[in-house]
């Protein structure tokens, strides 16, 4: 194979990766079919105070489970968070991507500070959020756990999907919606954490996003 052919292949792969990445101008379609009823039930939870900690409340009254892409979605709690985006990762393979194509690692409290984040190396993979440091950690480990989380985003409509597409690490965002559980007909289940102080398996929030504002 000639060098010219290799270069053409590498250029094609690079362009494909760029087109599928959040840096491309492409606004990806909704990751699931939005049923007519689901589009109307996005009732806003109480909003987190400016600069406050994530606010979890009871689900909006009168909102029952609904269906997305043939799966049952059960609201577990109202949720509002004002945070800094520490990292984002898009996913294209797996049953979870039918509902949530993007994870955002979010930080609040002192996990929004430049001086703290400069001492952390933050990454995401396989629906997990990772952080490393050299020497002493910039914050106590329990504070890092309480002040950051990896969250799976489920955009409620095309408007939210487009806004989610534009979110970048370093942005400050407010997200309002619900923490949910998803269960498919074949028994596969995906359940949100309902705590901010947990870590490890099951500690990520699964967020049905009704509003997303970059600040």
How far is residue 58's CA from residue 46's CA, in Å, rounded to a whole number?
9
How far is residue 176's CA from residue 212's CA, in Å, rounded to a whole number?
7
Q: Report the predicted TM-score, pTM, of the whole model to 2 decimal places.
A: 0.84
- pLDDT tens, position by position, for the chain (215 residues)? 566 545 555 665 555 554 455 555 555 555 555 554 555 678 889 999 999 999 999 987 777 888 888 899 999 999 999 999 999 999 988 889 999 999 999 999 999 999 999 999 999 999 999 999 999 999 999 999 999 999 999 999 888 999 999 999 999 999 999 999 999 999 999 999 999 999 988 999 999 999 999 98
Among 147, 1, 156, residue whose Cα is nearest residue 86: 147
How does DSSP classify residue 44? Answer: P
Task: Please count the other Cβ atoms lying within 10 Å of the Cβ belonging to residue 70.
Answer: 12
Residue length of the chain: 215
- Here the tokens at position 185 are 């007909």
140-148 long-range contacts (CB < 8 A, ≥24 apart) are: 142/197, 143/109, 143/110, 143/111, 144/111, 145/197, 145/198, 145/199, 146/109, 146/196, 146/197, 147/107, 147/108, 147/109, 147/110, 147/111, 148/86, 148/105, 148/106, 148/107, 148/108, 148/111
How far is residue 86's CA from residue 105's CA, in Å, rounded to a whole number?
5
């Amino acid at each position: 194979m000639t060098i010219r052919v290799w270069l053409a292949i590498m250029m094609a792969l690079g362009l494909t990766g760029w087109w599928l990445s959040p840096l491309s101008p492409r606004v990806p379609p909704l990751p699931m079919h939005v049923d007519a009823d689901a589009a109307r039930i996005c009732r806003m939870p109480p909003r987190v105070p400016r600069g406050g900690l994530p606010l979890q409340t009871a689900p909006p009254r009168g909102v029952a489970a609904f269906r997305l892409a043939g799966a049952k979605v059960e609201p577990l709690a109202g949720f509002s968070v004002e945070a800094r985006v520490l990292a984002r990762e898009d996913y294209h393979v797996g049953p979870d991507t039918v509902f949530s194509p993007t994870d955002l690692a979010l930080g609040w409290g002192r996990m929004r500070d430049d001086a703290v984040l400069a001492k952390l190396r933050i990454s995401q993979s396989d629906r997990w959020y990772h952080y490393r440091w050299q020497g002493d950690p910039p914050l106590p480990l329990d504070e890092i756990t309480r002040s950051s989380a990896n969250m799976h985003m489920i955009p409620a409509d095309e408007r939210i999907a487009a806004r989610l597409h534009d979110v970048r690490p370093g942005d400050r965002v407010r997200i309002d919606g619900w923490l949910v559980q998803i269960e498919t007909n074949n028994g596969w289940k995906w359940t949100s954490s309902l705590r901010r102080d947990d870590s490890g398996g099951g500690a990520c929030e699964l967020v049905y996003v009704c509003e997303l504002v970059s600040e």
